[in-house]
A = this chain, B = another copy of it.
Amino acid sequence: MKENIIQPMIGLFVAERNASSLNELLSSWPPAEIAELIDETEDKEERLFIYESLSHDIAAHTFEYLELQYQKEILEELPYDRIPEILNEMSADDRTGLLEELPPHTVSQLLAVLSPQERTIALALLGHPENSVGRLMTPDYTAVHADWTIQQTLDYIRMHGSNSETLNVIYVIDEKGYLIDDIRVREFLLADPSLKVEDIMDHKYQSLMVDDDQEEVVAKFKNLNRVALPVTDKDGYLLGIVTVDDVLEVVEEENTEDIQKLGAVEVFDEPYMNISFALLIRKRAGWLVILFVGEMFTATAMGFFEDEIAKAVVLALFVPLIISSGGNTGSQAATLIIRALALGEITLRDWWKIMRREILAGLALGTILGFIGFCRIAFWHKFVPMDGKPAYGEHWLLVALTVSISLVGVVLWGTLSGSMLPLVLKKCKLDPATSSAPFVATLVDVTGLIIYFTIAMLIMRGTLL
């Protein structure tokens, strides 16, 4: 809405490189909206011009709302003396996220410009393993002691709270710094100011461990409906907090990883449009070559049945139909199981229940497809002659039977391998999402051919074969 009126003016100021008018126009905007404006500007020079036209304090606040790729761009292009104010102003967790993405020598240069205090914080956060809670946390929280009064606490928050990433939850620690409670700020507001903190404590708190995997954090936030959770070491010493906005980003990142794996692509760490062409090819070629080599066994398998194909060419016509049906049902089953595992809806202990279910599902789906396949061949035989003769010759019934029985077998096999493979991978401590749709399809293709030709030999022996 705002954009419709002001967009042309911004465009004009940028085109004219009129920094002072642009500065004035943007000075009343919230930093998040300025960041959005920059994110949406396509030209690199224009992006930099907008950023540099901002007043220093607005620029520093805007920086952390920018997309990572533009943060990098600006760090490269901005005068060196403006970098400290930006980095010192960023919240510690977002800064860690940025530093993670930069090459090591840039990181050490940037660490050097931080104030000693912020440098200590940055180094501590970078010391935790990637994908651990430690990388998400920020040390900017507010902690109070149990023997303070509510009024003392409120005064303390008023004086010292302005650096906190969130004031929604206040932490109570003992004199050594160990966490003993978390209290939502509303409890302080709702309580009688003359009470002591310990009077409103319930000694129940939920916390994260600094070495926990980020995936577990997502589940915890979802179950507990919290906006922030404290992070402790294994002895309960309070180290920092994690806020829910960072968790939202973790969720999106993880889902992207799962989806890319399902599509048989190595995980991209960058947006599609930003990744270099060489990397784009490398990330895709790896899996494609593996699948291709696996799929070569179809040529070997079909080689074994070359004589049968020569005798009954009609068999070859249905090869793509048969194997793709196995592949499709396999992809479906794999997708369902992988997602249910990721959401914690099923666990490895359920394998037998799942297997029983998928066997029944495979039989039902195979019967549906087999029936349609049978009708298709019968219909073509009756109404669609090839070169004036019935399409599938005098033995059309045998062909129809072979195809439909094979479909039941192949679909059953597809469903079963598609559903069990993710569980096997999980059991072997591998990522279930690796059993991508194309991976399952390749596996089912080779075995599907063997099922098809074996059934053909059984049914057609003495007639077509």
Contact = CB atoms under 8 A, between A and B. Distances in A.
Q: Which of A271, A316, A350 lies at the interface centre, i.e. has the most chain B CB atoms within 10 A of its CB?
A: A316
Contacts of A112: none
Contacts of A244: 227, 244-245, 248
Nearest to A270: B345
Contacts of A295: 320-321, 324-325
B247 A248 contact: yes
B288 A329 contact: yes
A351 interface: no
Interface string A428-461: 0000000001100110010001000000000000
B346 A272 contact: yes
A25 B298 CA distance: 61
Given A168-B227, A320-B323, A262 B335 contact: yes
Interface in A184-222: 184-186, 189-191, 204, 206, 218, 221-222
Nearest to A218: B248
A265 B336 CA distance: 8
Contacts of A382: none
A332 interface: yes
A260 interface: yes
B289 A369 contact: yes
A302 B328 CA distance: 20
A85 B115 CA distance: 55
Interface residues of A, number: 119
Contacts of A291: 324-325, 328
A189 B186 CA distance: 11
B299 A317 contact: yes
A445 B353 contact: no
Contact of A293 (B224, B357, B372): B372
A164 B185 contact: no
A65 B222 CA distance: 10
B260 A336 contact: yes
Q: By DSSP majority rule, is chain A's interface helix, strand, loop, or mixed?
A: helix
| Listed residue (A168, A226, A249, A339) with the most chain B CB atoms within 10 angstroms of its CB | A339
Contacts of A190: 157-158, 161-162
A19 interface: no
A180 interface: no
A225 B251 contact: no
B313 A309 contact: yes
A161 B289 CA distance: 61
B189 A273 contact: no
A60 B345 CA distance: 25
A439 B365 CA distance: 17
Contacts of A287: 328, 332
A434 to B, nearest CB: 14
Interface stretch (A45-53, A103-111, A278-286): A278-286
B324 A298 contact: yes
A327 B438 contact: yes
Point out which of A65, A285, A287, A331 has the most chain B C-beta atoms below 10 A from its C-beta. Answer: A331
Most B CB within 10 A of own CB, among A345, A361, A437: A437
Given A259-B339, A273-B345, 6 more contacts: A167-B168, A167-B185, A285-B365, A288-B368, A328-B442, A437-B438
19 contacts: A32-B206, A154-B189, A168-B168, A256-B343, A259-B262, A259-B335, A262-B263, A262-B437, A273-B340, A273-B346, A285-B368, A293-B372, A299-B320, A302-B316, A302-B319, A310-B310, A310-B313, A320-B449, A324-B441
